[in-house]
Amino acid sequence: MNTFIYSTTRASAVAVGLVLATAVLGLTGATNAEAGTVSKLAFGKTPDGKTVDLYVLKNGRLTVKVMTYGAIITSIETPDRDGELDDVVLGFDDLNGYLGTHPYFGATVGRVANRIAKGKFTLNGKEYTLAANNGPNALHGGLKGFDKVVWKAEELESGDGPSVRMSYVSPDGEEGYPGNLTVSVLFTVTADDKLEIKYTAETDKATPVNLSNHSYFNLGGKHGDSIRGHQVTLYASNYTPVDDALIPTGEIAPVAETTFDLRKPSQLGFLISLLDNTPQGFDHNFVLDKPKGRMGLAARVFDPKSGREMTVSTTEPGVQFYTGNFLDGTNKGKAGVAYKQHQALCLETQHFPDSINQPNFPSTVLEPGQKYTQTTVFAFSVK
């Protein structure tokens, strides 16, 4: 059972303060924060006794829950076209589920999202060997990535709405990566039903960094069946083909006249049936068309059954589009539902997989004195 240990008083007090400030100083932009609330629940303890808290961010018609273990999004609740609220992300009802084996449900992934071939790279003349956790390759940060550590949390009013900032210092050498890396992830829910995620990172030695969120979406809700009926648009004219181990070949290939052309809304079931990979489905990085380094649209997902629509915008150059191909019923998640193949889809906004070994991909190297930033916004509506 969760215990309620923090109320919304602070958020209300801030809102009153903002209203007064607006009246006295003629400030604008305070309205979003007024409606939102943030609350904190105890969510349990890790096996080594660390307390885990769950933050509930509520604004507009959107409620997002994010916990300090793995900076994991445990729930995103949003209405369908009849106003019925439901949770549109896969996960578990309690901390125990998340402490077990699962494929990164809702997690903040890093230090480097996706695969690094053979778990090796060379930087400034030095070869580094990472923890291999996907055959010979390193995946999503290694054996104990950012998804399996307890983050520090701080409640904030970001101006856009109620927020929680998670922070973590990844020590030099962790999972084989060089440099002490200070990371923060700011989660905000806005009055117009958007979840904003803003990442920052700084290092004291050159290191690759590629942060992302690994939420599994099913806009049909927690009992939603497969995502084969969802319509997906990806704003990408190119993608990065992969070998059998899902490592990019280095090529940047046009999607035109291939099954990877999702530039118009496309029903996933039909497209997936055309793919000949095993396990079948999309598990590919798409190269976004938006201007480099600037915020722009990555994807749009529509579920004709529930009427829910989600758009994804990002500052990142790519999005890993993954249709839950490896889900095989082993994980029993929320409400005891066994998560089957194509039960959900992920849109992991990020730099391209294995960038550190691919000279023609945008660089993931962060140098001391530089600041890594990335912003991704998930916007929810109905049609």
Contact in structure between 351 and 366 (CB atoms under 8 Å):
no
> Smaller CB distance to ligand BGC: residue 36 or 353?
353
Residues 160-199 that bind ligand BGC (CB under 6 A): none
Contact pick of 160, 348, 356, 366 for ligand BGC (by CB under 6 A) = 348
> Smaller CB distance to ligand BGC: residue 80 or 283?
283
**Least spacing, CB of residue 174 vs ligand BGC, in Å:** 19
Consecutive H or E run containing 380: strand 372-382
Contact pick of 283, 303, 316, 354 for ligand BGC (by CB under 6 A) = 283
> Smaller CB distance to ligand BGC: residue 283 or 303?
283
Q: Left, alpha or beta for 19 (phi > 0: left; psi -120 to 50: alpha)?
A: alpha
Please tell me the distance from the alpha carbon of residue 75 to that of residue 89, in angstroms, as a whole number: 6
Residues 133-152 that bind ligand BGC (CB under 6 A): 139-140
Q: Left, alpha or beta for 132 (phi > 0: left; psi -120 to 50: alpha)?
A: beta
- Give yes or no: 223 in active site: no
Tokens (6 digits) for 162: 């109620």
Catalytic-role residue among 214, 230, 284, 342:
214
Phi/psi of residue 95, each to 5°? Answer: -60, -40
Measured over the CA atoms of residue 178, residue 249, residue 314 and residue 349, the dihedral's sign is negative
- Give yes or no: 367 in active site: no
Tokens (6 digits) for 152: 């520090």
Site string for ligand BGC, 92-131 (x = CB under 6 A): -----------xx---------x-----------------
Site string for ligand BGC, 308-337 (x = CB under 6 A): ------------x-x---x-----------
Contact in structure between 116 and 141 (CB atoms under 8 Å):
no
Catalytic-role residue among 157, 309, 348, 351:
348
**Least spacing, CB of residue 350 vs ligand BGC, in Å:** 9
Using CB under 6 A, count the residues that bind ligand BGC: 11
Please tell me the distance from the alpha carbon of residue 133 to that of residue 349, in angstroms, as a whole number: 21
Contact pick of 14, 246, 271, 301 for ligand BGC (by CB under 6 A) = 246
Contact in structure between 215 and 319 (CB atoms under 8 Å):
no
Phi/psi of residue 157, each to 5°? Answer: -105, 110
- Taking CB atoms, the residue at the shortest distance from ligand BGC is 103
**Least spacing, CB of residue 7 vs ligand BGC, in Å:** 37
Contact in structure between 107 and 327 (CB atoms under 8 Å):
no
Where on the chain is the footprint of ligand BGC (CB under 6 A)?
A: 103-104, 114, 139-140, 246, 283, 320, 322, 326, 348
Catalytic residues: 214, 348
